[in-house]
Amino acid sequence: MNRGHQPDGRAVPLAEVARRLGVSVTDDVRRAARRLPLRFPRSYVDQLQRAGALDLLARIGWPDPEETVPDPGGLDDPVGEAGRAPHPLVRRKYPDRAILLAASRCHFYCRFCFRAGVDIEPSPAELARAVGTIARLARDGVREVILSGGDPLTLDDHRLGALLADLGRVEGIATVRIHTRAPVHQPERVSESLVETLTGSARRPPWVVIHVSHPAELHPAFDEAVARLRGHGIPLLSQSVLLAGVNDAPERLAALFGGLYERGVKPYYLHHPDRVPGTARFHVAIERGRGIVRALRALLPGPAMPSYVVDLPDGSGKVPVDWLEPDGTGHWRVGLPGGKVLRYEERPATGRSAEPPP
């Protein structure tokens, strides 16, 4: 099944979104929607409009003409997953953990997503075979499974509960993480039924990692979703991507991470943007990102500071941006544990950055 959603009452029709944003549905928009679907949850759009933050919606959710043209600065496999897939739905970049692509759909499609183009929704039988692969990996040291996608919370409670139960029966798997944007984009998905599924389907509740981009996304319905998860003892982390024209200002990130910390969500990762084709407008130079993070440290308590990391394109995984050193050619080198040294090429600047939305 294609991961593009069919129209429903919880999504705003494309023509209405265009009218609210003051833009047109052009041929470029339609072509870009073939790269990554368009879906705009009504509660999310309404909240951003109330907050005066429709510029955020335009920046991260509306297609840009650059998505439809060749991008010499982009990488087809920006985080090096292709060679680390022991199963079509499984990625293993670290000795002790594996990613399971439990879904390909999302409640909302972020234009900077590095998995654009993955559009086949896995069947229950395919997920069962993937769990079998994870069982073999567990005998080789994997102890944690990360449910990603797409968004795993697009699965209904029955399918999600069955998957968690299957993983809970795999000997050696100690923890499960679920990475999701549901509390931001579809907070009503975080129902009492869902939290009962999360807490009752395996030996212990999974960790939930919420992807948040901007303080305007910390809306009242988000608060209710977070409180419901916390009230059932589900541990919460967050991750964000540093994005030009969205959150690339210390004060903006301080409002985001401070707000999460106040709500009982531990800021976990701030990702340097990946070199996804068609996303040069989100690029932030490494040196500028370091300066933003240095300034941020003066604005937040220690527990509210995430780790600023870059996911290396060769598949070696995430490393702290502080590990990168200039190599004398305008790019960077990074030494890994064990003595391996890699070269990291900075994405060419485009001059298309923008001020972060209010």
Task: Grade residue 41 by pLDDT with cuts at 50, 70 and 90.
Answer: very high
* pLDDT for residue 353: 54
pTM of the predicted protein model: 0.94
Task: Grade residue 203 by pLDDT with cuts at 50, 70 and 90.
Answer: confident
Amino acid at 89: L
Tens of pLDDT along 220-244?
999 999 999 999 999 999 999 999 9
- Count Cβ atoms below 10 Å from residue 285 Cβ, excluding itself: 14
* pLDDT for residue 35: 87
- Count Cβ atoms below 10 Å from residue 81 Cβ, excluding itself: 17
Q: What is the mean pLDDT of the chain?
A: 93
CATH numeric code, 72-344:
3.20.20.70
Tens of pLDDT along 160-170?
999 999 999 99
Looking at 180-315, list the stretches that DSSP marks H as alpha helix, in order from N- to C-terminal side.
Answer: 182-185, 192-200, 220-231, 250-262, 286-297
